Amino acid sequence: MFQLTIHANAGRARRGVLAMRAGNIDTPTFMPVGTQASVKSLTPEQVRQTGAQIILNNAYHLYLRPGVELIERLGGLHRFQAWDGGILTDSGGYQIFSLSPLHKVSEEGLAFKSHIDGSAHFMTPEKAVEVQQRLGADIFMSFDQPIPWGATHEQTAEATQRTHRWALRGKSAWRPETGQVLFGIVQGGFAEELRRESAETLVATDFPGYSIGGLSVGEPKEVMWEMLDLVTALLPQEKPRYLMGVGTPTDLVRGVRLGVDMFDCVLPTRMGRNGTAFTWEGRLNLRNAQYEMDAGPLDPHCSCAVCRSFSRAYLRHLLKAGEILAIHSLSYHNVAFYEQLMSRMREQITAGTFTEWAEQFVRDYRD
């Protein structure tokens, strides 16, 4: 039921189809982020219209509110949010570390307090898998210990090895007969030997797919690319690779060039809420006065509903007036642009022209 079939290669870039219980996903793919079981300001039908086939939900937030029991009783995440495509959830480890500053790490798991109401919770690797399975995700993540930029080698090694032990415990709690799939998360910080150890350990554990975590956490971009280059070369060719929480349009192109199949990032909707659009000519801030009388479309090279309907001047007016339609329109366009970018990359890989196209895109694009 879960299988990645590669149809074309361009160097390390791959164009394929990921068969899963929710249907087929064209890869490389971008997953819009629906933290609270909602891609901000967009209906599920509109998310589909952008070309998205799979979205990301946040297990930590949904565990706290509205709770696993409610979502499970109402039919799981697909029915709960009226989304018939694929759903991937993260395990919540990153959110616990970032949103609960008084968390306590032990070998057993993570003790933390809710950022919503201060209530006390304890998450183990087994519970993290159980929560995500009960939520009804198609793909979900092992519980890991994220490693911040600037951690010492000793701290990084300890957290990485704990992540490996937690991965084994989480895998023992996974019920594959449901058709739901568990990914391992490669950690290792920014030490080459620890990244290599993490990749090799998780590959030996034999997960259906592999996530690459702990990147884009404050490190210089070139350091991130060095680590990604190292890790993707160590992961199995026949299994999907997911780069977590990255990134800008050029980040996606560089990630695909290194063999990544799956991406998620909050940037399309976050930048939309801030009045910024991603276009084929680069990033565009509609709050700038130069667009006040601009009758042209948001992006003349985009065919989405927003670009077919509204001028830059009108969208700028909506922003200045505080109209919700501005946030919706820019978020819709940005998600559509990201999906168009992934489609363009799949076309270029199939045509055998991806390497040259990617070099030019990374060189010229202003993101």
Please provide the DSSP assignment of 178-208 as one string. Answer: GS-EEEEEE--TT-HHHHHHHHHHHHHHT-S
Quote helix, strand, coil % in the chain, to nearest 5: 45, 20, 35
Which residues on neighbouring strands pair with residue 278, listed in sequence order?
283
Using a 10 angstrom Cβ sphere, with 0-12 exposed, 13-18 middle and 19 or more buried, the burial of residue 364 is exposed
Catalytic residue among 138, 144, 261, 264: 264
Q: How many CB atoms lie within 10 A of CB 192?
A: 13
Distance in angstroms (rounded) separating the CA atoms of residues 170 and 143: 7
Residue 316 corresponds to which amino acid?
A: R
**In the structure encoding, which two tokens stand for residue 19, read together?**
């068969």
Q: How many helices (H) and strands (E) does the chain have?
A: 15, 16
> Does the annotation mark 367 as catalytic?
no
Distance in angstroms (rounded) separating the CA atoms of residues 263 and 254: 12
Catalytic residue among 26, 90, 144, 251: 90
Please state whether the peptide bond connecting residue 28 to the residue before it is cis, i.e. omega within 30 degrees of 0: yes
- Dihedral sign for Cα 169, 167, 113, 266, please: negative
Please state whether the peptide bond connecting residue 220 to the residue before it is cis, i.e. omega within 30 degrees of 0: no
Q: How many CB atoms lie within 10 A of CB 358?
A: 21
Distance in angstroms (rounded) separating the CA atoms of residues 158 and 155: 5
Distance in angstroms (rounded) separating the CA atoms of residues 326 and 338: 18
> Does the annotation mark 264 as catalytic?
yes
**In the structure encoding, which two tokens stand for residue 354, read together?**
């991806």
Beta strands (DSSP E) in the chain are 3-10, 13-20, 23-27, 29-34, 54-58, 86-90, 104-105, 110-113, 120-123, 139-141, 181-186, 209-212, 241-243, 262-265, 276-279, 282-285
| Catalytic site positions | 90, 264
